[in-house]
Amino acid sequence: MPRPGDRGAAWQRCRAVLSAAIDITCAALLIAVPSDPDLLLGAAYVCMKLRRPRQAYEAVARLSATVVGQLAQPDRTARQMTKIAAAICAWGQRVEAKDVLRKAIAMAPQFAAPRLALACLLEEELRAAGASASVGQWLERESLLRKSMAESPHLAAPRIALASCLQEMVRYLETQPVSERSNAPVHQVEAEDLLREAIVAEPHLAAPRLALADCLLASRRYVEAEAVAAAAVQCCPSSPELRLALARIQFQLRRFEDAARTIEALLAITPGHAWAWFEYGKVLRNSFYRLGQADRAFERAGDLAGNDGALLAGVAQQFLYDLHYRKAAKFYERLLNAVPGMRENFVICRHYATSLREMGRTDEAADLIVAALESCRRAAKRAAGEGLELLKLEEALLLHEAGRSEDSDQTLQSINRIAVSSPCYERSEYLPGTPERLQRLAEIVGSRDVFVMLQGPSFAAFAARLEEFADFEFAVATLNSFPPVEQELRRIGRQADVLLFAQPGSVRSWHSELTEFLARPAANVVVTNRYALYGFSEFGVSESEFIARHDERLLLVHSDGGPPLPSRPLHFENGSSLSLLIPLLLFARPRRIFLFGADGGSNPSFSKRPYFYYDDYDVDAEPQAFLNRSDMISFRALPGRLEEHNRRLRIDAINADRIMGAALRSLEANLGIQIPPIFNVCPHSIHRVFPRIDINTALAELTCGRHSQGHRAA
């Protein structure tokens, strides 16, 4: 009697014999079939049924140009070839599938199906290739979509598809060297024109209006985007996607209550819209509208997400940032179960491991990190250039999460060895001449100590002893709501040298003071990003006009995609303004840095105010004048609002420490920037990444002028 192992071996032999027989049959069929289009396509169909995509392709490849010209029904033949191409592609033979589709297009130029199928294949490949895609691929896809549009001049869909292609091409060109970006503005203008034409062609459709609103939003033209989205909602009131787009635009404009009402109207129509609940949570988390309900909105979004990996990841990330580790772990686990392929996503696994470690599930976290490291290193073997830098950075972050600090530092240092050149400042996210702008920043600091002055309540204690600092030599850096800080500095004849504003709300609140700052005869620098520059458009000045007026004083950074790397040295991780300012100041090579007013939340000595320049919330006095300014928030008689404000500041401070720690390690390892001594002059501060000292210790440090050891970020 045969044993089970013998049966398995016999079955394998039978499979091999059968496979060889099928190969022989397909080869014989290809030899025997004449060069007749119908017979060749029939042979290809048989080969596909026998799971031989290569032989199917060889059958189609025999269709010669001479035969094609004799076809009585080219559209019918092209349709069959499109189906065969789809089957060949399903077996992973994309090159052959594209070749079949190109033959079908040549055979029936007016038939849309193969052209659209080829355009879809090219789109997938372009997205996968990213910055390494070839110009030829983009041009072929653009040509296909232009032909589709020419054949359907009265339809919106072809225009939307071509506009999407042009917008993606713009994003691709922005990653290329400066010399290759010249056509990007032309493509952007054409994409917008196409979408407006699509609306005219079919004004009752929601799709072209949604696409135009998204196009304007991506270009940071928020007011125009809002007008388009609002008109679209009026035209198509039953479209939840249009209401969601309008809410997202209102969120970017920081009109949180308007955004909340828009989403509430959407949920009244479609209460199970998962992404609407997610956006609602973001709005509530950033506003003081309906306190305490943001977490419920995020959980509702996660519960409705189903197998939507992007949404589950977004919900989990929100809870991770908010330090709700159990909820974050819950949705990361649900994500990995719903989308098993996410187990190969090392960023997701690192975040999940962080959540598990904070919950005390250290063994599970360690196993995740091991698997994520293997996945990350496999990806690194296939990468080059900026992509390889990012993967090595991720490997370093994984090692740091695993507690292997020395290995993490060595991996970070290896990035500098694989970088193709010196730090790359010629990027579309930065301004031309950025190295010279950084040199100007260094000249303004002049190797002095830098006092970073924030608006936390403890700044009041520093201000009370300000005269004791008058004789020291230092540069001043501050951010956002800077006029109250400068009002105190005037008592000792000082003013800010470096100003960071990172969101348009600061422009709205302090526009006249910011304009005056830029017009001063004294040398100073304004550090900002493109999102914040939008704020000037509300005062009739476009981004390009503002840059042209104040070019010499501006330094543009990118507040996403950090920490800094040789290929993107001024990219910083998204977080609080402080988490951007401190790493940036290191480019100026200061002697030391002293932080004042960096409480990171409530101060026990000033527990009834959010910032040093506010009155206590229970004071019996006239409201302060600055509260009438746009985007300024009142806490008068609202202790619950102050408590929520301090809770958010604490969360931001803890995340800022993590972000600054990673940024400083990367700057030291990859850009050769030494970390100077950095002191936080606030003994009770939530920030722990730098030594916390009191004012007396700060004065002693300044008086003796001794050089402390550089404080490595924790």
- Residue 331: pLDDT above 90? yes
Question: Which pLDDT does position 170 carry in this prediction?
Answer: 84
Residues 6+ apart with CB under 8 A from 329: 316, 352, 355, 356, 359, 361
Average pLDDT over residues 185-191: 89
Contact present, 599 and 458 (Cβ < 8 Å): yes
| Mean pLDDT calculated for residue range 211-225 | 91
Give a yes or no: residue 49 inside a domain: no
Domain harbouring 349, CATH code: 1.25.40.10
What's the pLDDT at 710?
42
**pLDDT band at residue 5 under the 50/70/90 scheme:** low
Helix axes 362-381, 346-358, angle to 10 degrees: 160
Residue 150 backbone zone (phi > 0: left; psi -120 to 50: alpha; other: beta): alpha
Is pLDDT above 80 for 690? yes
Nearest alpha carbon to residue 52 among 35, 75, 76, 27: 27
pLDDT higher than threshold 50 for residue 711: no
What residue type is assigned to position 680 of the chain? N
* pLDDT at 708 exceeding the cut of 80: no
CA dihedral 348, 671, 578, 312 (to 10 degrees): -10
Mean pLDDT of 107-132: 75
More confident residue, 211 or 108: 211
Q: Confirm if 500 and 581 have CB atoms less than 8 A apart.
A: yes
pLDDT at 606: 85
Is the pLDDT reported for residue 487 higher than 50? yes
Q: Residue 712: what pLDDT? A: 44
Q: Averaged over 93-116, what is the pLDDT?
A: 79
Which of left, alpha, beta for 493 (phi over 0: left; psi -120 to 50: alpha)?
left
Q: pLDDT of 670-689, one tens digit each?
A: 998 999 999 999 999 999 99
More confident residue, 419 or 626: 626
438 and 414 part of one domain: no
Whether residue 14 lies inside any domain: the answer is no
Q: What is the mean pLDDT of the segment spanning 508-536? A: 92
Same domain for 374 and 499? no
Determine the average pLDDT of the residues in 435-448.
Answer: 95
Query: Residue 476: enclosing H or E segment and its boundaries?
Result: strand 474-479
Q: How confident is the model at residue 143 (pLDDT cuts 50, 70, 90)?
A: confident
3-state helix, strand, coil in the chain (%, to 5): 65, 5, 30
> Do the beta carbons of residue 686 and residue 604 sit within 8 Å?
no
Q: Which of 397, 420, 443 is the last residue of a domain?
A: 420
Specify whether 262 is located in the same domain as 342.
no
Quick one: CA torsion of 352, 354, 358, 361, rounded to 10 degrees? 60
Could you list the residue range(s) of the whole structural domain that residue 257 is in? 206-285
Asked if the model's pLDDT at residue 38 lies above 80, the reply is no
Residues 462, 577, single domain; the answer is yes
Co-location of 501 and 404 in the same domain: no
The more confidently predicted of residues 461 and 70 is 461
Identify the pLDDT of residue 422: 82
Q: Are residues 277 and 332 in the same domain?
A: no
Q: Is 411 inside any structural domain? A: yes
Shared-domain flag, residues 496 and 364 = no
pLDDT confidence of residue 263: 96
pLDDT at 172: 79
What average pLDDT score do residues 428-443 get? 94
Q: Work out the pLDDT band at 11, boundaries 50, 70, 90.
A: low
On the question of pLDDT at 548 being above 50, the answer is yes
Average pLDDT over residues 525-548: 91
pTM above 0.95, yes or no: no
Same domain, 279 and 343: no
Residue 582 CA to residue 656 CA, distance in Å, equals 10
Average pLDDT over residues 187-208: 91
Q: Is 471 part of a structural domain of the chain?
A: yes
Are 137 and 126 within 8 A, CB to CB? Answer: yes
Within this chain, do residues 441 and 395 fall inside the same structural domain, yes or no?
A: no
Does residue 96 belong to any structural domain of this protein?
no
The per-residue pLDDT for 294 is: 93
Determine the residue type at 31. Answer: I
> Could you say which of 285, 319, 340 is where a domain stops?
285
Query: Is residue 211 domain-resident?
Result: yes
Q: Is the same domain home to 520 and 599?
A: yes
- Using a pLDDT cut of 70, give the percent of the chain over it: 94
- Looking at the structure of the chain, the number of domains it has is 3
Cβ contact 312:329 at 8 Å: no
Task: Check pLDDT > 60 for residue 565.
Answer: yes
Pick from 257, 285, 313: which residue ends a domain?
A: 285
How do strand 525-528 and strand 474-479 relate by DSSP bridges?
unpaired
**Residue 586 sits in the same domain as residue 677:** yes
Which long-range contacts link 330-333 to residues 24+ away (Cβ below 8 Å)? 330/302, 331/302
Q: Say which CATH number the domain at 540 has.
A: 3.90.1480
State whether 254 and 382 are in the same domain: no
Q: Largest Cα–Cα distance of the chain, in whole Å?
A: 102
Report the amino acid identity of residue 453.
M
CB of 233 within 8 A of CB of 242? yes
Tell me which range, 38-47, 383-392, 646-655, is most confidently predicted by mean pLDDT.
646-655
> 242-251, 417-426, 464-473 — which is least confidently predicted?
417-426
Over 90: is that where the pLDDT of 146 sits? no
Q: Is residue 671 part of a domain?
A: yes
pLDDT in tens, 288-307: 878 889 999 999 999 999 99
What CA–CA distance (Å, rounded) separates 672 from 654?
Answer: 26
Average pLDDT over residues 214-233: 92
In a domain, 314, yes or no: yes
